[in-house]
Amino acid sequence: MFLPWAGWVCIWTSLFFTLLAIFNVCNVITRFTRIFEELFSMLIIVLFFQEAIKVLFPFHSKQNRL
């Protein structure tokens, strides 16, 4: 069961890679790489800020209240 599935995955992958090569998609990808790099760094910064705010302003759960 695995080998036919793996064979079809290879066939579809080779088809998509051939189409990408025909239409020279590498030029398009190089234009968007910088944008995605900046967006990913912004995501990392937002996650670090979120963790820092959690440490500075801890929220008490209902169990900790008197």
Confidence of residue 8 (pLDDT cuts 50, 70, 90): very high
Is 58 strand, coil or helix?
coil
Domain ranges of the chain: 2-64
- Would the pLDDT of 47 be above 90? yes
Kindly state the DSSP code that residue 57 receives in the 8-state scheme: S
Q: Which of 5-14, 28-37, 40-49 has the lowest mean pLDDT?
A: 28-37
What's the rounded Cα separation, in Å, for the pair 23 and 61?
56
User: What H or E segment, with its residue span, contains residue 33?
Assistant: helix 26-56
Report residue 54 as tokens. 């959690």
pLDDT 10s digits, 17-32: 999 999 998 888 888 8
Cα 5 off chain centre by: 25
